[in-house]
Structure 1
Amino acid sequence: MMLRIYLLLMLISSNVTAQQVSTVKWNETDKEKVQNLKWDTKKVAKGIRVKTVTVRLFDAPQEIFMLDIDTAKAKVDYSVGMADYMEKTSVQAVANDAIAAINGSFFRNHAEPLGDSRHLVMIDGKVLAKTDSAEFETRGTGAVLVYNNQVDITNWSREKEKKIAGKADHALTSGPLLMDDEKMVDLSGTPFVLKRHPRSVIAFNNGHLLLIVIGGRSENAAGMSLDEVQFFCDALGCDDILNLDGGGSSTLYVKGYDEDDIVNVPTDGSERAVKGIFYITSQR
């Protein structure tokens, strides 16, 4: 009897793992689907639109939520925010009078000191948090920088972080970096890369800054592995792609979007408190 129970548990465990790890490789059909997506679109302001779509990609259901900012038309300021204590993306956004916001980078949620950022956060030229040393080899490989209200997504390293002072007004490191100047970044085959999760991403597409949340962990949304995110954004036409914190942290806030101003469906059923955000405000 005990042996049968053990075998049953092993079978269940292997099925869960199989569902979490992506084994489906994309193809031209997936690429065509991405390039011909029929987005539901809602105008937020001049040059700013919310775009959402439900589609089957990579042989799985997907829900994708995007804020599309035409940087040539939108009259906004770009900023990085960090709470003194962990707080919901929407709460941080409201406190900063944001039009829109996406959750930022990774933080300590299982190790002391709880809530501390694992990655560089620089606000108004002041470094408030530094990247953990080990993160440079895994998730600290990219950064979003704001200087003179121009946004840049770039690769990152210890050397760059040492020289960041005076090089940007705002900075946030995260990763892994998925694409840099139209060049795909090679992704190692770790579970973090291979497993499907909800994802938050910031990317550029021909002068449009995209804040993207990909739903997951539900019957309606399988989530994506990072190589699937890479493929999806490449098929959209993106030239720079940076992965942000995902899972239950993934949140896209847009002021006035609906009752709670949250565009996506957080996987926990409600927003999770996070350490920081990337956000936009009306240009002053």
Structure 2
Amino acid sequence: MKSLFKILLLTLVSSSIYAQDADSLAFVKAKWNKKSVAKKTKVYTYQFADSTLFKANQYISFVEVRNHKKAPGFAIGYDKKELIKTSDFAKKYNAIAAINGTFFDIKNGGSVDFIKVNDTIINQNRQEKNNIRALHHKAAVVINDYKLGIKKWDGSGTWENDLTDKNIMLSGPLLVLDNEKEQLDSVPFNKLRHPRTAIGVKANGNVLLLTVDGRQANSAGMSLFELTKIMKWLGCTSAINLDGGGSTALWVSGYGENGVVNHPSDNKKWDHEGERKVANVIFIKGKP
């Protein structure tokens, strides 16, 4: 009986290792479509078909900005009340590329997470019940002198207000920090597959603005556990989840027919027209 149990255990462990290896191998072997969109800046896309990644179809797109003095810089775009498509935000700021930002009030507009732009506080956190800090209030994208970084909540109640960074956007959950994976709770938001938006920073300082499409036959979307894996496989030593779902959108100037690189899900069609209006974005633009 013990021998049989050991055989079953070894089979389960081997199957798990094989599944992980198969996923990482499929990812490494992907021949990404890539296009230069600005100095030291490229857009990458790939369709994982035939259920080759996490036993599902997946469509991933990202912009990578090299850590170079000639590369464009990062900034936060926002509107306090009006909701605007990511593509329209990008055009408003004359951006090279833009990705949807953090969580917002769908009915009334405005971010529900702390945002500071050019040293001016735009939004404070909207606390949840019993003043429990939300998962998306425990990490931040910070931008100083057009350079982007990721920070983790220090446990204090005034953390975001105490930060001295010039530009701050709270979001989350945090996926990876300094090459260490964060512990994610097994709540539905983390476990279920949805369209996802994320930002990652590589060891060399390169920054990725990434989307995973979802809610489609062509792309199932990912759990945050799966999203963490692909950010690591792409070489990110730090990564943060942003608002996803119907908000997920990546726009690049001059790309395709309307600049939308991914397939936003709000219109329930596999095209580039289904953008949801959002309250804020992260965008890249030539440095002054």
Corresponding residue for residue 51 of structure 1: 44
Selected match of 1:216 from 209, 214, 217: 214
Offset from partner CA, 1:107-143 (integer Å, 9 cap, x none): 1226xxx212110111111010012233734222211
Are 2:31 and 1:34 equivalent residues in the alignment?
A: no
Corresponding residue for residue 279 of structure 2: 275
* Same amino acid, percent of matched pairs: 33
Equivalent residue of 2:136, what SS? Answer: coil
Task: State how 1:244-263 maps to structure 2 within 5 Å.
Answer: 244-263=242-261
Task: State how 1:187-226 maps to structure 2 within 5 Å.
Answer: 187-206=184-203, 207-226=205-224
TM-fit CA distance, 1:237 = 1.8
TM-fit CA distance, 1:159 = 3.3
Corresponding residue for residue 229 of structure 2: 231
TM-fit CA distance, 1:73 = 5.3
For the 8 Å contact 1:34–1:236, the answer to whether it is kept is no
State the TM-score, normalizing by the size of structure 2.
0.85
TM-fit CA distance, 1:74 = 4.3
Offset from partner CA, 1:141-184 (integer Å, 9 cap, x none): 211101122211111253321302xx122110100000111110
Selected match of 1:123 from 117, 124, 133: 117
Equivalent residue of 1:271, what SS? Answer: coil
Equivalent residue of 1:171, what SS? Answer: strand
For the 8 Å contact 1:39–1:51, the answer to whether it is kept is yes
For the 8 Å contact 2:100–2:197, the answer to whether it is kept is yes
Are 2:81 and 1:82 equivalent residues in the alignment?
A: no
CA–CA distance in structure 1, aligned partners of residues 159 and 70 of structure 2? 30
State the TM-score, normalizing by the size of structure 1.
0.86
For the 8 Å contact 2:97–2:252, the answer to whether it is kept is yes
TM-fit CA distance, 1:28 = 1.2
**Deviation beyond 6 Å, 4+ runs, structure 1:** none
Task: Give the letter aligned to residue 271 of structure 1.
Answer: E
Equivalent residue of 1:200, what SS? Answer: strand
Matched residue pairs, number? 256
TM-fit CA distance, 1:32 = 1.8
Which 10-residue stretch deviates more, 227-236 or 153-162?
Answer: 153-162
Offset from partner CA, 1:50-105 (integer Å, 9 cap, x none): 10001121000000011011122543121111124111011111111111100000
Selected match of 2:99 from 94, 98, 102: 102
Task: Give the letter aligned to residue 183 of structure 1.
Answer: E
CA–CA distance in structure 1, aligned partners of residues 226 and 137 of structure 2? 20
Equivalent residue of 1:245, what SS? Answer: coil
CA–CA distance in structure 1, aligned partners of residues 56 and 79 of structure 2? 36
Selected match of 1:170 from 167, 170, 191: 167
> Unaligned regions of 5+ residues in structure 1, if any?
1-23
Corresponding residue for residue 270 of structure 2: none
Offset from partner CA, 1:178-216 (integer Å, 9 cap, x none): 011111000000000011000000001232100000000
CA-based RMSD: 1.6
Which 10-residue stretch deviates more, 216-225 or 140-149?
Answer: 140-149
For the 8 Å contact 2:65–2:71, the answer to whether it is kept is no
Are 2:141 and 1:147 equivalent residues in the alignment?
A: no
Equivalent residue of 2:217, what SS? Answer: coil
CA–CA distance in structure 1, aligned partners of residues 243 and 134 of structure 2? 16
TM-fit CA distance, 1:273 = 0.4
Are 2:153 and 1:159 equivalent residues in the alignment?
A: no
Corresponding residue for residue 241 of structure 2: 243
Task: Give the letter aligned to residue 159 of structure 2.
Answer: K
CA–CA distance in structure 2, aligned partners of residues 69 and 273 of structure 1? 25
For the 8 Å contact 1:48–1:74, the answer to whether it is kept is no
